[in-house]
Structure 1
Amino acid sequence: MGPRAVNPVGAAALADLMPWGTTGIGTGRTWVYAPERETLRRRWARLAAAEDRNALLQPTRSRTESSRPAPLPGCDAPTGPLARVVGPTPRLVRVARRPFDRQWLLADHRVVDFARPELWRVRGDRQVYLTERQAGDPWPLLCSALLPDAAHHGGRGGRVAPLYRDPAGREPNLVPGLVELLADRLAVPVAAEDLFGWIVAVTVDPARVPLTADPGLWTAGVELGRRLIGLYTFGARFGRPGDGKPRLPGGRRPFVREPIPARPTGATYDQESRSLLLGTGRIGPVPREVWDLGILEPWIAARTEPPGEGLERIRERTWSSELTSELIDLLHVLGLLADLTAAQAELRARAGAGPTLDPTALLPPAPATRRPPTVLDSTEEGPGGQAVLI
């Protein structure tokens, strides 16, 4: 994405504050995703056994059974075309398929059209991917410790901006000089993760991120942003050692009240019992505000809707205990996020109305900061041994 016009004093576009970004993964086909790993193993075995692999692949202009793309960074795979060699099941990588929906992906570049290798190259234990969605969206920004699909930012108009430009987390993807400017003007220590937390907490419109001049408000915003990031990433980032998975306090924790049937047909909400219903199964308590977030219905539908065509017909036949555990984890996260809604709305109002800093001297960022990083920690090779260049 190219440079944008600088906003009024005290605010800047997110695309300027975090200069490097791109769209999320675009697979060109949906059968390469599944909520459960065994589904993908079975689909791959079916593809390997097929005489007409092109039909099952669902070829596009970018991928056919004759395509020979380089392996994805960090994912060893055969480089020969599928028409000649399929190989064992590729590495299965968990990704952010949709908002709050973590699914597994067949990490074989021969079946993924637009994998965004530059995002794969910067994966690391400290990396957080910021998803920029449309202004006015209930979730204008989301975070994930996992590689995001384009559906995570809603398709066109959104983008993914990694916090770091390297897998070790040494080079922040932030406009140079801004962390130092904030530390000087606020007279408090400022780290890259603090600025990232502030951005996540206060942004309503990605085209205009306010930068406060109030040290107290800054501290409150950073703290709230860190809590939000911890929840968005299911506890994988910005938490304290030993925190584990996010959990609601006792008395509010959801439990399975009635067993979930082997084949639930969808989800509904029961106001009287404050429960999530999956067929004859029931999980509660679930507050109404959690159901109204609009996350649970598509999450459950992706795991219960009828099979599609081709390789998508291969699905797990029954609802598993693993899916139940993942759903409980999701309910904890959404419940804790609902608790923070009022605090975040108040913070956003104060950030928009209070004194602000002027970042215009640092903007627009240098063109080089908008390009993907070019220094890699490992050598990558494409078909025939040639180097992969960015």
Structure 2
Amino acid sequence: MVAFVCSAGFLAGPGFAGMREYLRRTADEGWIVDLTPEGHQPPMNTRFFRENQQPICVAVFIRRGGPDPDVPARVHRTLVKGTVEQKVDALACLMTGDARWQLCTNAWDAPFDIGESGIWASMPTVPELMPWALPGVKPNRTWVYAPEPETLWERWKVLVRAPVTEKSTLVKETRDSKLNIEKAQVRGMGRHVGTMGAETGPCPPLCRLGHRSFDRKWVIPDNRLHDTPRPPLWYTHSDKQIFVVEQHAHPVTAGPALVFSSLIPDMHFHSGRGGRVLPLYRDAKVNTANVSPGLLEHLSRRLKCIVAPEDLVAYLAAVAAHDGYTRRFAEELKQPGIKIPLTASRSLWRAAVNIGQEVLWLHTYGERGVDPGAGRLASAPRLNADRPAVRLGIPDTPDLMPEKIWYDEPTRSLHVGDGIVAPVSPAVMAFEVSGMPVVKHWFGYRKRRPDGTRSSPLNDIVATTWTPAMTTELLDLLNVLERCVALAPEQDSLLTKIVSGPLITVDDLVSSGVLPVPSSATKMPRPDLENDLFSEAD
């Protein structure tokens, strides 16, 4: 017998696949108790070890005789919930024959997770539909982001005028970004000459990136300041590109399972804790879609209608970008990774694409999914009635720069410092993306003392007054979230019809030759190096 209390990372982490296979080959039976079903950074009264923020578990494995390495061990799993005292009481009466145990899957190196339901097992993963994926951009220095351009211009000016002896601290030098080492140009980012240490020129033109779900920020697009800029995201970006963002490293617990952006996403875009980006197109000219070879043709044959790349991403948005999906598959989503139920009904497919276009329009603030005939203009979405509006002006003086927001539910009023915006629904204030409350998180980066990691003294240069642009962006956010909340019941109803009807399953995709995805489709695309006669070569 072997028994241990440890981090729960080995239960599903890819780096522990060998350990899981060893345990299955060496033991006859195992029992795993999840001591932290609350996830990362659980409430203090639920922690067995108060300083520990990571999920932990108890694992017990036994062998009754000689090893039988050709038969995988039967592994059971359960969890205990509540305060530490409640968890201790639950453990005290937990026996091996308890009905609370559930059998884990038995593939040799598979996660020690409860077996998938039949419908979940039949659904393809997002990368099986859109095979090229990569993390979002990672500057590794937070000061290159700001909600307003003026802050970044001032930070740049302070940096380039600083004495050489201070620049290292201001930049926050790292292994990948050093003051006196030149870095290659990245197609799509701002152009630069020489090293950052020798820089004395003006700030390069700023651009916007997707910093967090529904939160767009300005960034200095200078490769010398970005440790891991993810060049393919820059050189495949265009006004037609759509980035699908999936949280695949942590369980999705609430809100939309997938989020979408027209802007290049940050590494932590989804919910502040990693994730991966799946671009719709593999090139800026949108000649090649990031779709598994043969998938669109197969869907077109099965559904008896033409399926375009934009239709596929709209379908994903309709099916998975709402809290109904997350509630329905709550147990399955404890194991990270999103799966998509592909309907075999043409009418349901078309309904999903129509709804999904509106979801894309909302997630991208009116930059994608535009259709004036359907009321979707190429501008920030607005409610048709009862729009949030400024009822009491948010002060624009330094001494009254907002420090906090609070919500008065009876009057449906959002208080921003001394200002008031209303009406705002309780559902919008509660709107979250897997533990990240969107409105509070958005404001946290714009208050008098902004939230976030301080990586440099340059982080101390922040906006000192609330601006009209901030108010406009807040109204944009509230209108978008109100419309997402209003659309969610329709998405949930459609999802119910889809999962209750005939599906195109993984087996169907395998038999048609779509799966497994060829390795070539997962590889990073090369930049388009074609230049016209007058373009400037890199």
Structure 1, gaps ≥5 residues long: 380-384
Report deviation, 1:372.
1.5
Q: Quick check: 1:238 aligned with 2:388?
A: no
TM-score using structure 1 length:
0.91
Q: Shift in Å at residue 175 of structure 1? A: 0.4
Indicate if the aligned counterparts of 2:132 and 2:522 stay in contact, CA closer than 8 A. Answer: yes
2:238 to 124, 143, 150: 124
2:357 maps to amino acid: R
Picking from 452, 476, 481, the partner of 1:334 is 481
Displacement of 1:156: 5.8
Give the alignment of 1:219-368 within 5 angstroms. 219-241=350-372, 243=377, 244-250=379-385, 252-262=386-396, 263-293=401-431, 294-306=437-449, 310-357=457-504, 358-360=508-510, 361-368=513-520
2: CA distance, partners of 1:67 / 1:232 = 39
* Cα distance between partner residues in 1 of 2:514 and 2:200: 50
Closer, same or farther in 2 for the Cα pair 1:163/1:39, shift >3 Å? same
2:345 to 200, 204, 214: 214
Q: Report the AA paired with residue 277 of structure 1.
A: H
Aligned pair partner of 1:16 in 125, 128, 132: 128
The residue correspondences of 1:92-103 to structure 2 (distance < 5 A) are: 92-103=206-217
Q: Which residue of 1 aligns with 2:103?
A: none
AA aligned opposite 2:424: V
Whether contact under 8 Å (1:202, 1:344) holds in the other structure is yes
Residue aligning to 2:312 = 195
1:136 is aligned to 2:248: no
Between 1:8-17 and 1:363-372, the stretch displaced more is 8-17
Asked which structure has the greater CA Rg, the reply is 2
Separation in structure 2 between the aligned mates of residue 217 and residue 96 of structure 1, nearest angstrom: 31
Bigger relative contact order, structure 1 or 2, given CA contacts below 8 A and separation 6+? Answer: 1
Q: For the Cα contact (< 8 Å) 1:36–1:103, is it kept in 2?
A: yes
2:158 is matched with 46
Amino acid at match of 1:283: V
Query: Which sits farther off after the overlay, 181-190 or 304-313?
Result: 304-313
Amino acid at match of 2:224: R
Cα distance in 2 for partners of 1:377, 1:246 equals 37
CA distance in 1, matches of 2:228, 2:265: 12
Q: Which amino acid aligns with 1:356?
A: L
Structure 1, residues 188-207: CA drift from partner, whole Å, max 9, x if none? 22111111111122134644
- Compute the displacement of 1:88 (Å): 1.6
- Tell me if structure 2 keeps the 8 A contact 1:75–1:91: no
Query: In structure 1, the residue corresponding to 2:269 is in which secondary structure?
Result: helix
SS of corresponding position for 1:153: coil
Pick from 165, 174, 190: which aligns with 2:291? 174
**Cα contact 2:268–2:275 (8 A) shared by 1:** no
Cα deviation digits, residues 238-289 of structure 1 (max 9, x gap) = 1114713211012x11110001123011211111210111122000110110
Number of equivalenced pairs: 379
Q: Which amino acid is the alignment partner of residue 235 of structure 1?
A: G
Give distance in 2, aligned partners of 1:42 and 1:247. Answer: 33
Shift of 1:11: 2.1
Q: Quick one: structure 1 residues 225 and 254, their matched pair in 2 at CA, closer, same or farther if it must change by over 3 Å?
A: same
Distance 2:268 2:168 in 1: 25
Q: Deviations over 1:298-335 (max 9, x none)?
A: 10110004165500111121000010011111111000
Specify which of 521, 525, 536 is matched with residue 369 of structure 1. Answer: 521
Letter in 2 for 1:93: C
* Residues 275 and 64 of structure 1: CA distance in aligned 2, closer, same or farther (over 3 Å): same
TM-score under structure 2 normalisation? 0.67
Alpha-carbon contact 1:72-1:107 (below 8 Å) kept: no
* Inter-partner Cα distance in structure 1 for 2:273 and 2:537: 33
Using the TM superposition, give the Cα deviation of residue 91 of structure 1 relative to its aligned residue in structure 2, in angstroms.
2.2
**What is the Cα deviation at residue 9 of structure 1?**
7.4
Q: Hey, what's the Cα distance between the residues in 2 that align with 1:86 and 1:352?
A: 59
Distance 2:274 2:514 in 1: 25
Counterparts in 2 of 1:301 and 1:207: CA distance versus 1, 3 Å: closer
The code of the aligned residue for 1:231 comes to: L
Residues in 2 aligned to 1:153 and 1:256: alpha-carbon distance in whole angstroms: 29
- Is the Cα–Cα contact under 8 Å of residues 91 and 108 in structure 1 kept in the other structure? no
Secondary structure, counterpart of 2:420 in structure 1: strand
Shift of 1:347: 2.1
Letter of the structure 1 residue corresponding to residue 388 of structure 2: P
- 1:145 positional shift: 0.5
Shift of 1:79: 3.7
Measure the CA separation in 2 of the matches of 1:375 and 1:113. Answer: 19
Segment drifting more, 335-344 vs 350-359: 350-359
Displacement of 1:348 = 2.2
Is 1:74 equivalent to 2:74 in the alignment?
A: no
Amino acid in the other structure paired with 1:81: T
- What is the rounded CA distance, in whole Å, between the counterparts of 2:265 and 2:189 in structure 1? 17
Give, in angstroms, the shift of residue 341 of structure 1.
1.4
- 1:87 Cα deviation (Å)? 2.5
Distance 2:145 2:509 in 1: 42
CA-atom RMSD in angstroms: 2.3
Counterpart residue type for residue 368 of structure 1: S
Q: Alignment identity in percent?
A: 36
What SS does structure 2 have at the residue aligned with 1:334?
Answer: helix
1:11/1:359 contact within 8 Å kept: no
Letter of the 1:304 counterpart: K
Distance 2:281 2:192 in 1: 29
What is the identity, as a one-letter code, of the residue corresponding to 1:26? K
